[in-house]
């Protein structure tokens, strides 16, 4: 039997995975491993972190050091791990609720500090694991289990939030863009500073079923595709035309000192080594 070459990166005891058929989480796990394989990422130096939610289960399946803990606190752990051992590659797999609502404050400060970690956000536009509740990323007027008359709140633009807070590498793609995702992950792993990669994806079980009236993954993927515009095309569009659109592309690439650089510099000074 032909074995998938990425199978060697998965923990035997954790399989089979718990994702629903057609879920974007499986795609993101696959694309991360593909990127890791292509750059020969040292799995002995990888720490994969997840908070709570369907996406937060991704680290459980990867054969590397993994941390699976409380909701929204992934960046607090990542800060401690990275400052203690700067040689480690730290990757956070977070859902939109985990990183932008409960963990929103950690996100803005990690970005402000330019913490050298990689944040891969699976934005499936709802709180999936807990039953399809409305999230800060749920599009306006769509139905969720907690908005039976439609969502009345404006939607957070996660990439703009990360950029404004100071992230030095920001990209957004959708699960309709596997090649671009692999490329961004490869570049992001090489970047020094806070890497923020948002992937808009399908949760057929809750988002699809409640917001779009279909539990078929392909229907949500089609819905996402119809709303997607590239950054270049968006530049020629008005604010009104961009309402409800998913703008994809590479938004930020900056080379700035990281929190770890500053920490090392101050430590040297304190020890009179200047
Ligand atoms: Fe994926 Fe949604 Fe199922 Fe969670 S509930 S595993 S996000 S399809």
Query: Does residue 20 contact residue 73 with C-beta atoms inside 8 Å?
Result: no
User: What is 41-60 written as a DSSP string?
Assistant: --GGGEEEEE-SSSGGGHHH
Tens-place pLDDT, residues 129-143: 899 999 999 999 999
User: What is 212-237 written as a DSSP string?
Assistant: IS---HHHHHHHHHHHEEEHHHHTTS
Provide the whole-model pTM. 0.96
Residue 274 has pLDDT above 70, yes or no: no
Mean pLDDT of 8-19: 95
Ligand 1: which of 54, 93, 95, 224 to mutate, judged by most atoms within 8 Å of the beta carbon? 54
Tens-place pLDDT, residues 255-267: 999 999 999 999 9
CA of 206 relative to ligand 1 center, distance in Å? 7
CA nearest ligand 1 atom 3, residue: 20
> What pLDDT is stored for residue 69 in this prediction?
81
CA of 14 relative to ligand 1 center, distance in Å? 17
Rounded-to-integer distance, Cα 119 and Cα 108, Å: 12
Instruction: Tell me the torsion sign for CA atoms 119, 123, 126, 130.
Output: negative
Mean pLDDT of 164-187: 98
Q: Architecture of 23-270 per CATH? A: 3-Layer(aba) Sandwich (3.40)
Query: What percentage of residues in the chain have a pLDDT greater than 70?
Result: 99
- Lowest-confidence segment of 40-49, 79-88, 117-126, 263-272 by average pLDDT: 263-272
Tens-place pLDDT, residues 60-98: 999 999 998 888 899 999 999 999 999 999 999 999 999
Radius of gyration of the chain measured on its C-alpha atoms: 19
Rounded-to-integer distance, Cα 155 and Cα 268, Å: 44
CA of 140 relative to ligand 1 center, distance in Å? 21
| Ligand 1 atom nearest to 18, measured from its CA | 6
Give the binding-site residues of ligand 1, using a 6 Å CB cut-off: 19-20, 23, 25, 54, 124, 128-129, 203-206
Q: Is 42 helix (H, G, I), strand (E, B) or coil?
A: coil
Ligand 1: which of 26, 205, 216 to mutate, judged by most atoms within 8 Å of the beta carbon? 205
Ligand 1: which of 25, 125, 138, 199 to mutate, judged by most atoms within 8 Å of the beta carbon? 25
> What pLDDT is stored for residue 2 in this prediction?
87
Residue 160, CA distances (Å) to 155, 171, 250 in order: 12, 10, 12
Rounded-to-integer distance, Cα 82 and Cα 258, Å: 11
Tens-place pLDDT, residues 190-247: 999 999 999 999 999 999 999 999 999 999 999 999 999 999 999 999 999 999 999 9
Tens-place pLDDT, residues 154-173: 999 999 999 999 999 999 99
| Ligand 1 atom nearest to 95, measured from its CA | 7
């Amino acid at each position: 039997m032909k074995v998938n070459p990425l199978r060697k990166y998965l923990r035997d005891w954790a399989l089979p995975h718990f994702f629903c058929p057609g879920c974007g989480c499986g795609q993101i796990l696959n694309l991360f491993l593909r990127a890791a394989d292509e750059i020969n990422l040292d799995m002995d130096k990888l720490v994969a972190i997840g908070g709570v939610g369907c996406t937060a289960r991704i680290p459980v399946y990867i054969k590397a050091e993994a941390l699976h803990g409380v909701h929204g606190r992934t960046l607090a752990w990542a800060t401690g791990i990275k400052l203690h051992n700067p040689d480690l590659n730290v990757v956070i797999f977070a859902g939109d609720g985990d990183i932008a609502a409960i963990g929103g404050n950690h996100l803005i400060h990690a970005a402000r500090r330019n913490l050298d970690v990689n944040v891969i956000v699976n934005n499936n536009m709802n709180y999936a694991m807990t039953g399809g509740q409305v999230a800060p990323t749920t599009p306006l007027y769509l139905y969720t289990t907690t908005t039976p008359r439609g969502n009345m709140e404006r939607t957070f633009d996660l990439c703009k939030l990360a950029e404004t807070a100071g992230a030095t590498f920001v990209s957004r793609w959708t699960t309709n863009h596997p090649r671009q995702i692999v490329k961004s992950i490869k570049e992001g792993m090489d970047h020094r500073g806070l890497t923020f990669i948002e992937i808009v994806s399908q949760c057929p079980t809750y988002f699809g079923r409640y917001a779009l009236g279909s539990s078929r993954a392909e229907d949500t993927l089609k819905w996402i595709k119809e709303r997607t515009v590239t950054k270049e095309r968006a530049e020629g569009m008005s604010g009104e035309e961009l309402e409800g659109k998913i703008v994809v592309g590479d938004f930020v690439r900056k080379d700035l000192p990281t929190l770890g650089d500053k920490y090392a510099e101050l430590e040297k000074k304190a020890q009179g080594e200047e």
